Amino acid sequence: MDPEEAQNTHPPQTPADHEPEAEQPIVIPRPLQIGDLAHPFSQLIPNTFVTYTLVTIIGVIFLVQLGEQSTGPYSFDVQWPSCFDGTRISHDWAGCGAAVIYGQQFYRMFTLMFLHGSTTHIAFNAIALYALGRDMERIYGRGRFLYIYFVGGFMGSLLSLAFRGPSEFTVGASGAIFAIAGMNLAFYYIYRQRLGEMGEQQYQAMLRMVGINLVIGVLLIRVNNYAHIGGLIGGALLGYLFIPWHTVKSLAPEIITADENSLSAKSGLAIAIVCILTALTVAVWALWRFVLSPI
């Protein structure tokens, strides 16, 4: 065979070589209609006033704690004397289980969220509150954010009291901050498909952060992991129950959405949760006071 003819010779093609590639179906999105679920970021709060205020409040209170110390203004580690001293907020606001059980000072389960034991303690909590709180406040709104922050934090205090009883002595906003983390997990888990890769990345990153902090809580003796776990569970549950659910109410002259899960729309549920937690608190108190550790 002539070399030129050999170069122009090709193997015979089979019928399969001539089959056209299957065309991908063209998906035309359906126009937005009244009643549809809007984008989860459709009603973001423009600023994060509440988060900044909370960070400022715990900072100012810590300065007051330092000013109360007998060792002078240069002591940056808060000293913890008796819970029943009654002369300083470091005494009167601390999460002292004995004061709650034998003195019925239930307010401590809230006020402990404003106290901190050292500069390292408040620095970590302030940074975490600033980092996690801003996004959740913008997404959930100020009312829901505050509700989940304090109620979730209280659930952390309640779990700690239930397991530690009179021996409990705890301070710090970490239970409430873990409630924000739980809220974060609930939001990005529910909306992870609608938010695509960004939603999945946020969810996985929050899972890793929570896991690392819980492991640290196991390794360090002075860390109250009961408060962390209680706050995390409470925040995740409340974040799910009150998750923003914006639906389209009007299309003309502009798209108007309304949140069907707002705190005002679910006020009955919010009050019921507070009532249930109140009953659980009384039950835990009575169990320790009259059964497990009577005096």
Q: What is the pLDDT of residues 134-152, one digit of tens each?
A: 999 999 999 999 999 999 9
Q: Is 249 helix (H, G, I), strand (E, B) or coil?
A: strand
Answer yes or no: is 16 within a domain. Answer: no
Answer yes or no: is 35 within a domain. Answer: no
Quick one: pLDDT at residue 285? 97
Q: How many domains does the chain have?
A: 1
| CB crowding 149-163: b at 16 or more within 10 Å, else e | bebbbbbbbbbbbbb
pLDDT band at 32 (very low <50, low <70, confident <90, very high): low
Q: How far apart are the first and last CA of the chain?
A: 111
228 near 174, Cβ under 8 Å?
Answer: yes
Q: What is the pLDDT of residues 102-123, one digit of tens each?
A: 999 999 999 999 999 889 999 9
- CATH (domain of 228): 1.20.1540.10
Classify residue 291 by its DSSP letter. Answer: I
Answer yes or no: is 266 within a domain. Answer: yes
> In Å, how far are 112, 208, 239 from 40, measured between CA atoms?
34, 23, 14
Q: What is the pLDDT of residues 201-236, one digit of tens each?
A: 999 999 999 999 999 988 887 889 999 999 999 999
Distance separating alpha carbons of residues 149 and 162, to the nearest angstrom? 20
Helix (H) or strand (E) holding 185: helix 174-190
Distance separating alpha carbons of residues 151 and 60, to the nearest angstrom? 22
> In Å, how far are 23, 131, 139, 197, 198 from 203, measured between CA atoms?
35, 15, 15, 10, 9
Which tokens is 156 given? 């952390």
- What is the domain range of residue 281? 45-292
Return mean pLDDT, the chain. 85
* Phi, psi (degrees; rounded to nearest 5) at 42: -75, -15
Answer yes or no: is 27 within a domain. Answer: no
pLDDT band at 75 (very low <50, low <70, confident <90, very high): very low
Answer yes or no: is 234 within a domain. Answer: yes
Answer yes or no: is 90 within a domain. Answer: yes
Answer yes or no: is 32 within a domain. Answer: no
Q: Strand pairing of 246-250 and 256-259?
A: antiparallel
Answer yes or no: is 184 within a domain. Answer: yes
242 near 263, Cβ under 8 Å?
Answer: yes
Quick one: pLDDT at residue 17? 53
**Count of Cβ atoms closer than 10 Å to residue 272 Cβ:** 11
Q: What number is the average pLDDT over the span 272-286?
A: 98
Residues with active-site annotation:
174, 228
